[in-house]
Amino acid sequence: MDFLKRTNRTRSSFPFRHAKELGFGLLAVVAVLIAVLALTTRDNGIGPSPGLAASTPQPSRAAVPNVDIIGDSYVVGSDQGGYGAANWTKIVGTRFYEESHPIDMNVIGHPGAGYIVRGTEKVTFAEAATASLRSTADLVLVFGSRNDGKQNPATMAAAATDLYTKIHERAPRAKLIVVGPAWVDEKVPDFISSDSKAIAGAASAAGIQFVNPLSDRWFFGADAKLIGTDGVHPTDAGHQYLAGKMYGLISKTLATMATP
């Protein structure tokens, strides 16, 4: 009886074990078929559904406009005012940040420089642009310069055209704003008016926006008090005044441009 029991137990377990082995075998076959089908699909160039691929969300980051500023001591400040946080470029940058529209500003300022005249750092605006202007600039603002003094109008216009060409070559997607030379009151010398007219003509010929501080009366009348005791450079309050002017120009221009 014990033998029979053992024999019966053995016989009854065999078909079960065989069924499990058969099941595993079938699973292996199915796995092989799936692998072959996948390889065949790939080799035939069949990919996932374009509709499904297009619906997959892609990561994005907020674009921050690159704004480059070219100018003289009216841009970088002087011992009369405009150093550090009091500088108009700093004030403008801070305002954009506080209004949740940050910009990345690159200030290229050289005291005494102009379109033709080399300043204390021995560069003109064009040479400064060639050395320091970013190729990624979205907006370039040129401000000045009274430093050029009395110039032949044709020479002045040629220098301006050369600068604008170099800016376009180095930063081809950038929009350009040209702000002419400012004066300290209503008594504008003829040579400053002449330089401004030549710069305006070169900008107009190139389709560039020109802003004229003379006709717009910057620092005229009661605002003349915003010029320092040297009779040339803006004070800290003068830089605050310039910040208001420049913020308006930059923000309006950026608003008309496509997001980079």
Q: Is 73 a catalytic residue?
A: yes
| Among 68, 72, 233, 239, the one annotated catalytic | 233
Nearest 5 degrees, angle CA 210-CA 213-CA 217? 140
Measure the CA–CA gap between 243 and 247, rounded to whole angstroms. 6
Helix (H) or strand (E) run with residue 108 in it: strand 104-109
Q: Is 68 a catalytic residue?
A: no
For residues 106 and 67, the answer to whether their CB atoms sit within 8 Å is yes
Measure the CA–CA gap between 241 and 236, rounded to whole angstroms. 9
| Among 73, 78, 145, 196, the one annotated catalytic | 73
Measure the CA–CA gap between 46 and 107, rounded to whole angstroms. 53
| Among 13, 18, 216, 230, the one annotated catalytic | 230
Q: Is 168 a catalytic residue?
A: no
Label residues 45-78 b or e (16+ Cβ within 10 Å = b). Answer: eeeeeeeeeeeeeeeeeeeebbbbbbbbbbbbbb
Alpha-carbon distance values, 228 to 34, 77, 214, 234 (Å): 83, 11, 19, 6
Q: Which residues are catalytic?
A: 73, 230, 233
